[in-house]
A and B are shown apart, each in its own frame.
Chain A
Amino acid sequence: MKNQDKFVNEATLLRLIAEEELKKDKSATSDMVEFDNLKLIHELHVHQIELEMQNEELKKAHNQAYEAIEKYVELYDYAPSGNLSLSKEGDIIELNYSAAAMLGNERNLLKNKRFGLYISHDSLGTFNRLLDRSFRLKEKESCELILLHKTDTVDKSICVHVDAQLSKNASKCLLTMSDISERKKLEIELNKTVELLREHNLYKP
């Protein structure tokens, strides 16, 4: 009996010790968990702010890019000369307002149309050679074309000087057109006058 009592007492004691130990342990792990959580929260906070800052910078960069694009688009769209990009087949890929005005149609309606449709019959050969040489030789080419400027109210031809150059990735041909109708008229007049004088003068200067 006494032995048994002793045994029981010992067991209780052991249990108490174990529980005490466990409690100690538990509080230790909970401390650990709490500490880890705090660390994690700190990490998350830092990362969040990092992301926020990065986002700010990206937004700023995006705005700057957008401004640059706007500037260039204006320089292209509203340039005083006609700007066109043509595919190898001679289809209009893009064009600016001046080019559309020269061709006598709206910009949107001209996209994907064949540029040859707007060139006078006499100039078609010159244009085809220009496009072919541009894609083949990859050098700047120039020529003079007569455009058919047909609208509801006007039906006339325009004389344009064309400079052509292949784009950097060689996918399309960049053309700029300048209206030189006035100059062409003067040249023709001058030529006519000189020819007339040559014909009727016995004395040649």
Chain B
Amino acid sequence: MKNQVVNKSKVKELRQMAEAELKTRKSTKSVNEVDNLKLMHELLVHQIELQMQNEELMKAREEAEAAIEKCVNLYDFAPSGYVTLSEEGEITNLNFSAGIMLGKDRIHIKNSRFGLYISQESLELFNDFFERIFRFRKKQSCELLLKSSPDKPYYAHIDGLVSQNTNICMLTMIDITERKKIELELQKILDQYKNLNGYFIEREMRMIDLKKEINELLIKSGCEEEYLI
């Protein structure tokens, strides 16, 4: 309905423009009847040509619009986060999943720096990753802690690549928070074992030292060594 109204006013506007254009094109010389008929015939032929061309263009436009919709769906509704960055690291485009991952509305994120959404501890990693993407022009990966929610951590695995034709950087992000949590848990246990082992080694070394001391004292007092070290 709204479209129809827009179309009507558009048609009217086109007509006015056409009339104005005609005024500038019209020659002043008068034409006789035969010329008129010939002219009319030519005009009719040309008109049909134009109408055919017009129809084809309309069809092409419809096809293009359908193709765009398909592409937009593939990009916008992709299950992973897609972000494109300029050479300066500014977000030029992103899809819905990426918006959710970065914790803000899509519109508010556009044109802001991607670095703003990365936690302080991961910033250096990201800068290195971003630099590598442009230097090697091959797929690069990294894992970053995002700032999307202040109360719980959000870890993302990010793949990045520079496009061939344009110099834009394409990133895809997936959520690896759960597996990162398990990894951190395991790392903690491992650290505890390391500490424990360190403690045991220290204790063992101390025992060896003591045994050495006892052996020395025994020798000094004319006895034989008691411990084999």
Cβ 8 A contact of A161, one of B33, B176, B186, B192: B176
Residues of B within 8 A of A165 (CB): 77-79
Q: Is the CB of A83 within 8 A of B74?
A: yes
Q: Is the CB of A176 within 8 A of B18?
A: no
Tell me, yes or no, whether A20 is within 8 Å of chain B by CB: no
**Nearest neighbor of B182 in chain A, beta-carbon distance:** A187
Tell me, yes or no, whether A38 is within 8 Å of chain B by CB: yes
Cβ 8 A contact of B176, one of A37, A41, A45, A183: A183
A30 vs B36: C-alpha distance when bound (angstroms): 13
Interface residue ranges of B67-121 to A (CB < 8 Å): 67-68, 71-75, 77-80, 82, 84, 93, 97
Q: Is the CB of B84 within 8 A of A183?
A: no
| Selected interface stretch from A10-18, A21-29, A65-73 | A65-73
Residues of A within 8 A of B68 (CB): 65, 68-69, 72
Tell me, yes or no, whether A8 is within 8 Å of chain B by CB: no
Interface residue ranges of B164-190 to A (CB < 8 Å): 164-166, 170-172, 174-176, 179, 182-183, 186-187, 189-190
Q: Is the CB of B174 within 8 A of A178?
A: yes
**Nearest neighbor of B32 in chain A, beta-carbon distance:** A34
A58 vs B71: C-alpha distance when bound (angstroms): 21
Contact residue range for chain A? Answer: 35 or more
Cβ 8 A contact of A48, one of B33, B43, B179, B182: B43
Interface residue ranges of A142-173 to B (CB < 8 Å): 142, 161, 163-165, 167-168
Residues of A within 8 A of B176 (CB): 161, 180, 183
**Nearest neighbor of A30 in chain B, beta-carbon distance:** B33
**Nearest neighbor of B191 in chain A, beta-carbon distance:** A205
A residues at B contact (CB < 8 Å): 30, 33-34, 37-38, 40-42, 44-55, 58-59, 61-62, 65-66, 68-69, 72-76, 78-81, 83, 85, 98, 140, 142, 161, 163-165, 167-168, 174-176, 178-180, 182-183, 186-187, 190-191, 193-194, 197, 201, 203, 205
B residues at A contact (CB < 8 Å): 14-15, 17-19, 21-22, 25-26, 33, 36-37, 39-40, 43-44, 46-47, 50-51, 53-54, 57-58, 60-61, 64-65, 67-68, 71-75, 77-80, 82, 84, 93, 97, 139, 141, 143, 157, 159-161, 163-166, 170-172, 174-176, 179, 182-183, 186-187, 189-190, 192-193, 195-196
